[in-house]
């Protein structure tokens, strides 16, 4: 009986740790300067970034579809939506995946060092292996809202709700 209770307790603790890691919301400071080397040449003044991976079966399609609906409703030519792939697919595959949702989306496959730096800077949860859950990979479903001020990108907001609500995304994008 004690072994069974101990086993149940371990499962509950493991689920709690996983939930904490999956939906960890760090102390996001408004107006945080963020270096985005891949966006230096952009003529856009607003940016929505989503981290995921090519072939993601759940979180990415749902989130990117909501972002695409938001983008279509706003029809804002100052807005650039960026998909950053965290898996080992090529730049061409990443770009193709992003454009499935909207032809204006851009996809970036970053070097390992750039990826590691952005994961840390944006507090992205990314587990490429099946260690935590029985899937190919796991990642946080956050959507990041940035504004270009002069030549710098400023993180203005982070949307952490999943699945995203288009009305919320419209509001956050309009606030940029």
Domain extents in the chain: 2-174
- Pairing state between β 79-85 and 106-109: parallel
Q: What is the pLDDT of residue 26?
A: 47
Top pLDDT among 159 and 3 is at: 159
In this prediction, residues 80-85 reach a mean pLDDT of 95
- Asked if pLDDT for residue 8 goes beyond 70, the answer is no
Q: At what angle do helices 91-101 and 59-74 cross, to 10 degrees?
A: 60
pLDDT-based confidence at residue 16 (cuts at 50, 70, 90)? very low
Do residues 83 and 144 lie in contact, with contact meaning Cβ atoms separated by under 8 Å? no
Please give the structure tokens belonging to residue 82: 């960026």
Is-contact 51 122, C-beta < 8 A?
A: yes
pTM above 0.75, yes or no: yes
Burial of 11 (0-12, 13-18, 19+ CB in 10 A): exposed
Measured between alpha carbons, how far is 138 from 64 in angstroms, rounded to an integer?
Answer: 16
- Sole residue written with tokens 């891949």: 38
The confidence score (pLDDT) of residue 18 equals 43
| Per-residue pLDDT at 115 exceeds 60 | yes
Mean pLDDT of the 67-89 span: 94
Query: For residues 28 and 166, which has the higher predicted lDDT (pLDDT)?
Result: 166
Do the bridges between strand 106-109 and strand 152-159 make them parallel or antiparallel, or are there none, so unpaired? unpaired
Q: How many angstroms separate the CA atoms of 58 and 24, rounded?
A: 19
For residue range 118-166, list pLDDT tens digits in order.
888 888 888 776 554 555 567 889 999 999 998 889 999 999 999 999 9
pLDDT of residue 28: 58
Mean pLDDT for the chain overall: 83
140 in Cβ contact with 124 (< 8 Å): yes
Q: Which carries the bigger pLDDT value, residue 17 or residue 1?
A: 1
2-174 CATH: 3.40.30.10
């Amino acid at each position: 009986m004690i072994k069974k209770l101990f086993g149940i307790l371990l499962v509950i603790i493991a689920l709690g740790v996983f939930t904490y890691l999956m939906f960890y919301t760090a102390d996001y400071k408004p107006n945080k300067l963020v270096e985005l080397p891949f966006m230096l040449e952009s003529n856009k003044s607003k940016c929505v970034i989503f981290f995921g991976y090519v072939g993601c079966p759940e979180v990415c399609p749902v989130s990117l579809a909501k972002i695409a609906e938001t983008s279509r409703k706003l029809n804002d030519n100052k807005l650039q939506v960026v998909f950053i792939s965290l898996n080992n697919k090529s730049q061409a595959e990443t770009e193709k995946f992003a454009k499935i949702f909207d032809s204006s989306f851009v996809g970036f496959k970053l070097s390992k060092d750039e990826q590691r730096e952005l994961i840390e800077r944006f507090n992205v949860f990314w587990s490429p292996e099946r260690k935590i859950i029985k899937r190919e990979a796991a990642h946080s479903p956050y959507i990041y809202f940035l504004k270009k001020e002069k030549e710098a990108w400023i993180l203005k907001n982070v949307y952490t709700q999943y699945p995203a609500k288009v009305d919320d995304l419209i509001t956050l994008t309009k606030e940029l």
